[in-house]
Amino acid sequence: MALCVALLLAAMPATAAEKVALHALFKGKAIVMVDGTRRVLSIGDASPEGVKLVATDTRQETAEIELDGVRQQLQLGMVISSFAPVGKGSVTLYPERGGHFFADGTINGAPVRFMVDTGATIIALSSDTATRLGIDFRRNGRLGYANTASGVTRTYYVKLNSVEVGDIKMFNVDAGVVEGSHPLDVLLGMSFLGSLDMKRDSEKLELRER
């Protein structure tokens, strides 16, 4: 079933498109109105005005588009007021307890505390944290199992709409929700870190977008 919404974008002056509306969303396809013209786009397609469909997620009710090389994730009901490009983000972290690197950030716009864990394949968070963030992992997640310090635990694999640390923001990031109250801090794994350049210099860690 199509998911319909009017999602307006105020375009950059340099682009051909001045107004874009997401009219309907399907698996692998979307219908957009570009300056009043109806365009049916499959993933990878671009309209004559330069609006490219990058991804759709009907369960999360999101779509990702690209305009002039700038990507933006759109959620049904959310209005975008600008589509301006941003520079490459970076953040510098310093070791805290146990020599670990911690960072304050957000998941889906809500504040969380991250612990950098290069040994984690994906971001990992407890089900208690996921519930606080409003992530419906039982409905939208894929059930699996993971080895933890307390043994084999049920884990739900999900896509996070957005993850932000400092000036770095990514969309559609893989994560695992572990049943229970652990880990206490969200483990910032390689599904986020793997897209960054990481530089350890003496007593600091620098993360930078490529």
Query: Do 66 and 49 form a contact (C-beta atoms < 8 A)?
Result: no
Distance, in Å, from the CA atom of 159 to the CA atom of 142, rounded to the nearest integer, reads 10
Cα–Cα distances (Å) from 25 to 5, 106, 128, 131, 162, in that order, read: 9, 26, 31, 26, 19
Please identify which residue in the block is written with the tokens 């084999």: 152
pLDDT 10s digits, 159-169: 999 999 988 99
- The per-residue pLDDT for 9 is 36
Q: Which pairing describes strands 123-126 and 168-178: parallel, antiparallel, or unpaired? A: parallel
Distance, in Å, from the CA atom of 154 to the CA atom of 151, rounded to the nearest integer, reads 10
Alpha helices (runs of H) in 141-189, residue ranges in sequence order: none
Q: Which residue has the higher pLDDT, 34 or 175?
A: 175
How does the average pLDDT of the chain come out, rounded? 81
- The per-residue pLDDT for 31 is 80
Question: For residue 74, is pLDDT > 80?
Answer: no
Nearby residues of 97 by Cβ (< 8 Å), 6 or more positions away: none
Q: Which residue has the higher pLDDT, 9 or 179?
A: 179
pLDDT 10s digits, 190-206: 999 999 999 987 688 99
Beta strands in 8-109 (DSSP E): 8-10, 19-26, 29-34, 37-42, 51-57, 62-67, 70-75, 90-93, 102-107
Query: Do 153 and 179 form a contact (C-beta atoms < 8 A)?
Result: yes
Question: For residue 187, is pLDDT > 90?
Answer: yes
- Which pTM does this prediction carry? 0.60
